[in-house]
Amino acid sequence: MSSGLRWTEQQLAALQSRKPEPMQPRGAIILPDDATEAQHQDAVFAWAESMAEVHPGLECMYAIPNEGKRSGRTGQAMKRRGLRPGFPDICLPLPRGMFAALFIELKRPDGSLKADQYGWQQRLARHGNKSVVCWSAESARLEILNYLSLGVT
């Protein structure tokens, strides 16, 4: 016996044509596919600022301004002052777990890692830091949360 619930063909077609809204975790960082690396980094810092009360220590996270076009004179001056090509974009200088700090090289999903960036990843890890490459603002957010969950050393 039927339950008495009957759908018309039109109702069934309307239900089947609906695309479900994608499920996003609470607090996820969603950016358009064509977002620049700078926009990904802006989103990470906006998220961190909004979550600083929930996750103490996020206010200590800072950016390392290694990218950008500069004049030859400015570039040379910045090198004298300690600018290092390939150094990661973000640092969270809090010891957690077995690590002294977290360094993030942030890339767009379609980006690529340069040799000097890979070299810094290896060097920083050898010296007791967690050093990762994140391929989006959202992957950086998840990496930061994971790092913070390691606990204070």
pLDDT number for residue 84: 85
- Note the Cα 80 to chain centre separation in Å: 29
pLDDT at 2 over 60: no
- Yes or no: say if 130 and 153 are a contact pair by the CB < 8 Å rule: no
pLDDT number for residue 14: 66
Task: Please state, in angstroms and rounded to a whole number, the distance separating the CA atoms of residues 86 and 94.
Answer: 22
- Yes or no: say if 59 and 94 are a contact pair by the CB < 8 Å rule: no
* pLDDT digit string, tens, across residues 11-27: 666 666 655 544 455 67
* pLDDT digit string, tens, across residues 79-119: 787 778 899 999 999 999 999 999 999 999 999 999 999 99
Q: And the tokens for 120?
A: 């810094």
* pLDDT digit string, tens, across residues 111-146: 999 999 999 999 999 999 999 999 999 999 999 999
DSSP helix/strand/coil, 23: coil
Task: Please state, in angstroms and rounded to a whole number, the distance separating the CA atoms of residues 67 and 83.
Answer: 10
* pLDDT digit string, tens, across residues 37-65: 999 999 999 999 999 999 999 999 999 98
pLDDT number for residue 23: 46
The predicted model scores a pTM of: 0.79
Nearest Cα residue to 147 out of 29, 41, 61, 28? 61
Instruction: Give me the percent of the chain exceeding a pLDDT of 70.
Output: 82
Domain ranges for the chain, please list them.
33-148
Q: Domain 33-148 belongs to what topology?
A: Trna Endonuclease; Chain: A, domain 1 (3.40.1350)
